[in-house]
Structure 1
Amino acid sequence: MATRTRQAFSLAGLAASVVRRTVARPFPELDLEGRLASLPQAAHTLKEPIDIRWNAQHVPMVQAKSMRDAAVGLGMVHGHLRLAQMEVMRRAAFGIVSEVAGKAALELDQLLRLLDFPRATEASLAMMPAETRDWIDGFAEGITTIAFETPPPPEFEIFGIRPSPFIAEDLFAISRLCSADYSWKVWRTLNALRQEDDWAEMWADLIGVAAVADEDIPYGAEQLDEMLPTAFTRGSNCYAVDGTRTATGKPMLACDPHLMIATPQPWLIAGFEVPDLTVWGLMVPALPIFGAGRNGHGAWGGTNLHATSSELVNVADEDVETEEIIIPLRGKRRVKRKHRQSTLGPIISDAKPFRMPAETVALHWLGHRPSDEYTPFLDLMRAENWDQFESAVDGYALPGLNMLWAGNEGGIGKMIGAHVPRRPLATPKDMVVSRKVAEDHWRDLVTGRDLPKVVNPACGFISSANEEPKDPEVTISLFFSAPTRVERIAALIGDRQDLTLQDFRTFHADVYLAPAHTLASALAVVARDVRPDARVTAALADWDGRYEASSAGALAFELVAKPLIDSLDFVSEKRRATPYWRPFARLTNLTDHATPEELATALAKAIDSAEPLLERHRTWGRIHRLRLAHPLTKLPWVGSRLPTIDLPTGGSNDTLMKSMHPFTQKVHGTNFAANARFLADLSDPDETYACLLGGQDGWPGSRTMFDMVGPWRRSDYVRLPMTAAGLDADFAHVTRIETGAPDA
């Protein structure tokens, strides 16, 4: 409570500062032409002029004569669309958020400094080939051109931020921020349980065959210091079919990443064209790589592997060093703090969010070692076949990814992109290991070539949804997602041999959840005995298992779930570990282990609780909401001048169209979900499509900040053509950037 009070006073002071700067300045509404007018007419870092073509949704295609100039153009695109967002990411990567936000972000900065995302920067940049470094430097120079040669975004004036150059070191630190280990989320949840008497029993449950993890519910704004370091860890679905499964006889690929719901978007759509290469795809702001994309030879995408690229190591018996850090606060003040470091990594038990106050535990993380993730993605952009794709992915270290390929020649394949410690296939006794065990594990790292892969399977399709790899030689992770989504993909593809992109659009929007449907049907049988006349009983019995926004059955199931869990938890003889970090597993475990009498009694109470709420809300979308708003809407006297979106939405925790939520009877917003879509039909160079849950632009007042919300809900995508005719048809706005100084 004391922390929240301090944050409230600090935010109040920040709000007062904001009001003084902005109370009389409304945000002007800007259309596409108005936004493009701010771009500079020249850039001194270009060797030759470039064209940036734009479609009506503010999606750019950079046309250049060299890779270096293409990188500059892409950097300008990122800066134009997302400069304020990238500034926040840079400050988070270096732990200097407090310089803008004041004391409200002090604990966050302490954690970020301890995690030390930039630690391996110098060594990593030194190992990159000259071509890769040239690409990164060009991209950074493009961002810098926008920062200094165009009007600053409104957030800069509001918070007193001065433009500063972006350099390769900044981009690398941001990439490490985006590489935060998935297992940190799980550890934060489980560490609080390690002091319990029955911890050993719970841990054994967790690492059993059925104890696989799902993405935990992200923390609210009041726990920003706990949430941000893993805000970029992701879920996702990705699948590809070969030509035997499609109507055209050519492969297709679909990808939909799952990340935090945020405005501006965590993704942007972009492309570039040089004489021998054209690429379209999804990019993370500030990173010059395409996470999902297509070139003239094939398409790729991926999902988070949930690989454990970290180790918690007990260093209680070792000498550790203490270093003093200085954190700048808003108002030219500085705060001194102390961090402890071991030879294996920072003493993470000193960080409050990791909840290990009684121990001395170091975080041993692959991200603190030098590695080059940019070169593999540059090679991936130029891959012409599976062999080149495999070679590129093999050099990629972290964060661990399942990477999929579909080639024009007809081949498809899936492999792991990760370097992981050689952990034996054995059950660990605890989450924290000794130094000797850690050193044994990390003496030799396994790369993608040595990990499970699938190439041109007889079934004609490949898929990934954060599932556990089959038959690995080493322990990759203990916390994979349940197979629900990957099984749903297989069911939708079935034995089809006439698949089209329209089918893939339908798959992206699929909201059927088989485990929920099965459980709801079983509960309906019991409900007929205990509450035969209830509306909830009828809704459960009639439900088709689809979490449509208009579904009464989905609402009934969710309204029953929360009180049912509470009642069965109370009577359960065994406390189960999975409930703390996998909500649906908690419900199924409790119902499976309850006696018929316990279940009947608990369900009757749950139906009584749910009945008036079902009458009031009627459909799932009335309580399950999609909320999009720029962060400035949280500030008094500023937010009222910006639009917000609050819409009913379908989906649930493990539907293909993921939209996560806690079990609750209250109106709530989903804050972790499928938020970008990408499709590629290799039968036609113009048949590539993408869509964002929101829009391209991050500028307050821009009409292209939310203009894709409607198309998203209709499964209507933006076409990303590769031919000259396609570009002429869809990308009519052209910005010419000459060489030389902007005012020349």
Structure 2
Amino acid sequence: MFNRYPMLSRTGVFLLLPLILAVLYTFSWVKSTIFEEDSSFTVQGIEQDISVTVDEFGVPSIDANSDSDAFFAMGFLHAKDRMWQMEVQRRMGKGETAEIFGRSSLSQDIWMRTLGLHAVAEASWENYDDDFKAAMVAFSAGYNAWLAQTDELPVEFSLFNVEPKPWTPVDSIVIGKLFSLMLSFNLSRELDAVRAMSLLPEQHFRALYPDIPQAHISTSLAEQTSLDIESNYAQLQAQRFGKQKDLGSNGWVVSGEHTTNGVPILANDPHLGIELPSMWYAAKIKGDKINSAGMTFPGLPFVIFGKNEDIAWGGANFTIDKQDVVLHEFNPNSPNQYASSTGWKPLDIEVQQIHIKSEFPDALRTKQPPYELFIARTESGPILDYVPGSLNGMSLKWTALDATDLSLKALLQLNYAKDWHSFRSALSHLVSPSLNVFYADRAGNIGMSASGLIPIRKVGQGKVPVPNTQFAWTGYVPWEEMPYIYNPPEGFIANANENYLPTSYPYFVGSDWAEPTRANRIKRILKKRIDNGQKVDAEFNRVMQLDVVDDNVRHLQRILIEQYGFNPEQAIRKGFLTWDGDMSSDSPYPALYVSFIEHLREELVRPHFKLAGTGSVLDDRVSSLVSRVETGTLLRLLEEEPYWCIKQSAQQQQTCIAVINSAFDKAQAELTKLVGSNPDNWRWSEIVSREYTHRPLGDMEALKSSFKTYISGDGTPHTINVANYRFDEDDGYIQNAGATFRHVFELTPDISYHFINSTGQSGHIYSAHYADMMPMMHTNTLIKSTESKSQYTLNLRPAE
């Protein structure tokens, strides 16, 4: 070739060689930013030598002589492995992402600055005790020690031309606030209800929102609801959870009476949006008092869910209604005043500037002027839709926006808890997020304690917005009256975000509970095992965490057969009626079921919303409302509210059959389009993919091949192995939320710990630990912490 085409050869070499050299240089440079070998560092800020052993999976074990030094090492490690992730989270909480990502992030920054998470974090810092402050100061010093000594930053800093700033303790509190925001849904639920009331007939509204009297929502209230508020909040939550609300966590704990080795076993798998890297970071932390292991959150120096020498704990969202929307009337003669029960009060108004990065290539673009944001605050909270000169607005009352919220103190103290009493004492400080926290100890006790502040309201239950002249929180449920379960006679405790409170409980807690499908299946599996006299061990729990049987299938089949006499002629539909609901089945039925439910939702629910199909911004909101109708609710409508099927001059039963047949036809057509007309190819595992996305590089077309990863998906929102998904016309079903880690604890003398993270420990794309746990997460191949091999050691020595 070179001899026959000398000119072409020389031209090719001339053009390709620089490109090849550039790629090799870039690869070498990126690799140089990764430290994964024996190293020693001399640093300011520690008292004595610290040894950090990192195992074959990138999990560090910190061995320090003081807790302060241990927290320092945690900050050093988080900076080493997750600096870019922490930078993005910090900027998100402060409302500074547009500075690096441009105008596409402006709406998010407006939302975050309006909430004022950073200002609240600064105020709450003053209220924390000295022990907590010392831990945060040490962690920040560790992060900054890594930053000071490294010459190479993660590649993202260069791509976006970002210079990281030193970490501060307030930054860590902001991270905690973001964690709380991820697990708070009441604002969107209230706005959903208001919007749905304006778009649905009265009878249909009552069916979807049976606990909300329609008389409590006026037409004028619906007109006031800001689509911008709904859009900004929904976008943030969808990024973490997907569209459906029934994504929470699983947890259960079994008494030693029913386990193979005679000690309690605790299993837990929190469900959030799946990201690359994982939002969790596994670590072992040993100082002079602390000795804990489990999952940390990058930006916080302690274990969130894990174990110490005496107890193990895990968590699931406890869906307290802790956010209320408050309606305000502004004084037309003095717009900077709002109406209250005692007369006009002044708004606290602040003007902030949001800097916006120019679009690429920014050197050739005109520099964008800062965006001027007017922020107004009331006694109940920030105005979410403030426009100077407007006559009304809506504020947010939320427990996490109070400077007395010291929730991170609770999470820190869990690391030191020795027994049920000290465990509950630690949780008494938790305000938000609100959690059900599972418990087991080496003495053989098991329990679960609810935590988080439950507001007591002057008017209503917080399900819909209330005028400020009527609104007030009169207090909170006393800690002594918070729900808990301790050593129950059943010998096990399980929760999957469902309502487990007795009807006699005297306080209103919330109404956004998950459907009980997952929880009922967990309890049924455990009860059957115990009733049969079979013992439970770690392997049984590991397999149970992978369970993908959706019990809603049996419910649907009963409705189709018993209520509608559904007896289709097609063989595939007959098979569907006898399928057991196992989503791992090597048959077309799992894929057919998921597609059918999606189309049934569209066929049964959407036509009753006004303006559906107009292509407007409002129609996008209708799509969101329809997508949030849970499967259990959908089946209830089909079973108990057949008027949803009614169309002009048709009988109810006939029209419901028509709706069912139409949904089946569309499901089959969809699967045919995706993988062909042969049902043998309709495998759920082939049609659903679990998507792991780096933020924001995975969303950029030119870079997504390197920063977005797919593996085969499984499950549904109602299986123990949870999967939430969105539909893509070309790629099929994309799972964007599910278990973000899994762990199982056996309360042996040394508390045996089995775990797996969702992706890997490192945030560096070329690290061996960037995604090495991903296939193990798929099969739930748990790592036993005592059996992993050491890979390298980091030694930190105090500067003289």
TM-score by length of 2: 0.80
Contact between 2:552 and 2:632, CA under 8 Å: does it hold in 1?
no
Which is further off, 189-198 or 487-496?
A: 189-198
Question: Does residue 416 of the first structure (1) align with residue 450 of the second (2)?
Answer: yes
| Alpha-carbon separation, structure 1, partners of 2:69 and 2:725 | 44
Question: Does residue 598 of the first structure (1) align with residue 655 of the second (2)?
Answer: yes
* Residues 149-205 of structure 1: CA deviation (Å, up to 9, x unaligned): 222111111101102110111111221122112213323433433434746972685
Equivalent AA in structure 2 for residue 483 of structure 1: P
Which sections of structure 2, spanning at least 5 residues, go unmatched? Answer: 1-18, 215-226, 242-246, 331-337, 339-345, 359-366, 613-621, 643-651
Offset of residue 91 of structure 1? 0.3
| Alpha-carbon separation, structure 1, partners of 2:576 and 2:102 | 50
Offset of residue 606 of structure 1? 2.9
Which is further off, 661-670 or 129-138?
A: 661-670
* Residues 515-573 of structure 1: CA deviation (Å, up to 9, x unaligned): 223213543678985531242x1341242111227442111212322333333347879
| Alpha-carbon separation, structure 1, partners of 2:625 and 2:602 | 15
RMSD over aligned Cα atoms: 3.3
* Residues 346-371 of structure 1: CA deviation (Å, up to 9, x unaligned): 111349xxxxx995111112122122
Equivalent AA in structure 2 for residue 558 of structure 1: V
| Alpha-carbon separation, structure 2, partners of 1:429 and 1:681 | 41
Equivalent AA in structure 1 for residue 660 of structure 2: L
Which is further off, 524-533 or 65-74?
A: 524-533
The one of 583, 608, 611 equivalent to 2:630 is 583
Question: Does residue 324 of the first structure (1) align with residue 351 of the second (2)?
Answer: yes
1:250-261 → structure 2 map (5 Å cutoff): 250-261=263-274
Offset of residue 381 of structure 1? 0.7
Contact between 1:58 and 1:697, CA under 8 Å: does it hold in 2?
yes
Equivalent AA in structure 1 for residue 275 of structure 2: A
Contact between 1:139 and 1:288, CA under 8 Å: does it hold in 2?
yes
Equivalent AA in structure 1 for residue 315 of structure 2: G
Aligned to 2:512: 479
The one of 279, 297, 300 equivalent to 1:284 is 297
Question: Does residue 395 of the first structure (1) align with residue 429 of the second (2)?
Answer: yes
Question: Does residue 490 of the first structure (1) align with residue 523 of the second (2)?
Answer: yes
| Alpha-carbon separation, structure 2, partners of 1:551 and 1:449 | 52
Aligned to 1:142: 142
1:262-301 → structure 2 map (5 Å cutoff): 262-301=275-314
| Alpha-carbon separation, structure 1, partners of 2:319 and 2:27 | 41
Q: Give SS of 1:422's match.
A: strand
Assess, with a 3 A threshold, how the Cα gap between structure 1 residues 682 and 81 changes in structure 2: closer, same or farther: same
1:552-631 → structure 2 map (5 Å cutoff): 552-569=588-605, 579=626, 581-592=628-639, 593-594=641-642, 595-612=652-669, 613=671, 615-616=677-678, 617-631=681-695
Assess, with a 3 A threshold, how the Cα gap between structure 1 residues 368 and 199 changes in structure 2: closer, same or farther: farther
Aligned to 2:257: 244
Contact between 1:516 and 1:545, CA under 8 Å: does it hold in 2?
yes
| Alpha-carbon separation, structure 1, partners of 2:513 and 2:707 | 38
Aligned to 2:752: 687
Assess, with a 3 A threshold, how the Cα gap between structure 1 residues 561 and 299 changes in structure 2: closer, same or farther: same
Aligned to 2:645: none
| Alpha-carbon separation, structure 2, partners of 1:249 and 1:112 | 49
Aligned to 1:43: 43
Aligned to 1:508: 545
Offset of residue 47 of structure 1? 1.0
| Alpha-carbon separation, structure 2, partners of 1:23 and 1:93 | 35
Contact between 1:182 and 1:230, CA under 8 Å: does it hold in 2?
no
Offset of residue 93 of structure 1? 0.5
| Alpha-carbon separation, structure 1, partners of 2:609 and 2:57 | 56
Equivalent AA in structure 2 for residue 696 of structure 1: Q
Contact between 1:105 and 1:225, CA under 8 Å: does it hold in 2?
no
Q: Give SS of 2:541's match.
A: helix
Question: Does residue 520 of the first structure (1) align with residue 557 of the second (2)?
Answer: yes
Contact between 1:185 and 1:230, CA under 8 Å: does it hold in 2?
no
Which is further off, 152-161 or 589-598?
A: 589-598
Which sections of structure 1, spanning at least 5 residues, go unmatched? Answer: 1-18, 212-218, 352-356
Aligned to 2:118: 118
Q: Give SS of 2:663's match.
A: helix
| Alpha-carbon separation, structure 2, partners of 1:105 and 1:573 | 31
Equivalent AA in structure 2 for residue 703 of structure 1: A
Assess, with a 3 A threshold, how the Cα gap between structure 1 residues 29 and 518 changes in structure 2: closer, same or farther: farther
Which is further off, 229-238 or 452-461?
A: 229-238
* Structure showing greater Rg: 2
Offset of residue 225 of structure 1? 6.9
Contact between 1:246 and 1:499, CA under 8 Å: does it hold in 2?
yes
Offset of residue 458 of structure 1? 0.6
Offset of residue 210 of structure 1? 14
* Residues 119-170 of structure 1: CA deviation (Å, up to 9, x unaligned): 3223322222211110111111111222232221111111011021101111
Q: Give SS of 2:471's match.
A: helix
Aligned to 1:364: 397
Question: Does residue 154 of the first structure (1) align with residue 155 of the second (2)?
Answer: yes
Aligned to 2:222: none
Q: Equivalent pairs: percent with the same residue?
A: 22
Contact between 1:29 and 1:703, CA under 8 Å: does it hold in 2?
no
Assess, with a 3 A threshold, how the Cα gap between structure 1 residues 127 and 705 changes in structure 2: closer, same or farther: same
Q: Give SS of 1:271's match.
A: strand
| Alpha-carbon separation, structure 1, partners of 2:266 and 2:28 | 40
Offset of residue 644 of structure 1? 4.3
Contact between 1:90 and 1:170, CA under 8 Å: does it hold in 2?
yes
Aligned to 1:6: none
Aligned to 1:337: 373
Offset of residue 286 of structure 1? 0.8
The one of 481, 485, 502 equivalent to 1:450 is 481
* Residues 386-422 of structure 1: CA deviation (Å, up to 9, x unaligned): 0111111112111111111101101111111101212
Question: How many residues matched?
Answer: 696
| Alpha-carbon separation, structure 2, partners of 1:519 and 1:665 | 26
Which is further off, 239-248 or 602-611?
A: 602-611
Aligned to 1:10: none
Assess, with a 3 A threshold, how the Cα gap between structure 1 residues 199 and 310 changes in structure 2: closer, same or farther: farther
Contact between 1:555 and 1:620, CA under 8 Å: does it hold in 2?
yes
Equivalent AA in structure 2 for residue 689 of structure 1: H
Contact between 2:435 and 2:450, CA under 8 Å: does it hold in 1?
yes
Assess, with a 3 A threshold, how the Cα gap between structure 1 residues 683 and 358 changes in structure 2: closer, same or farther: farther
Equivalent AA in structure 1 for residue 192 of structure 2: T
Contact between 1:283 and 1:291, CA under 8 Å: does it hold in 2?
yes
| Alpha-carbon separation, structure 2, partners of 1:644 and 1:231 | 15
| Alpha-carbon separation, structure 1, partners of 2:62 and 2:32 | 17
Offset of residue 252 of structure 1? 0.8
Assess, with a 3 A threshold, how the Cα gap between structure 1 residues 31 and 405 changes in structure 2: closer, same or farther: farther
| Alpha-carbon separation, structure 2, partners of 1:336 and 1:557 | 49
| Alpha-carbon separation, structure 2, partners of 1:570 and 1:46 | 61
Equivalent AA in structure 1 for residue 717 of structure 2: N
Equivalent AA in structure 2 for residue 650 of structure 1: D
| Alpha-carbon separation, structure 1, partners of 2:576 and 2:549 | 15
Equivalent AA in structure 2 for residue 602 of structure 1: V
| Alpha-carbon separation, structure 1, partners of 2:40 and 2:483 | 48
Contact between 1:578 and 1:586, CA under 8 Å: does it hold in 2?
no
Offset of residue 705 of structure 1? 1.3
Q: Give SS of 2:370's match.
A: strand
| Alpha-carbon separation, structure 2, partners of 1:400 and 1:205 | 25
| Alpha-carbon separation, structure 2, partners of 1:278 and 1:432 | 46
Which is further off, 316-325 or 109-118?
A: 316-325
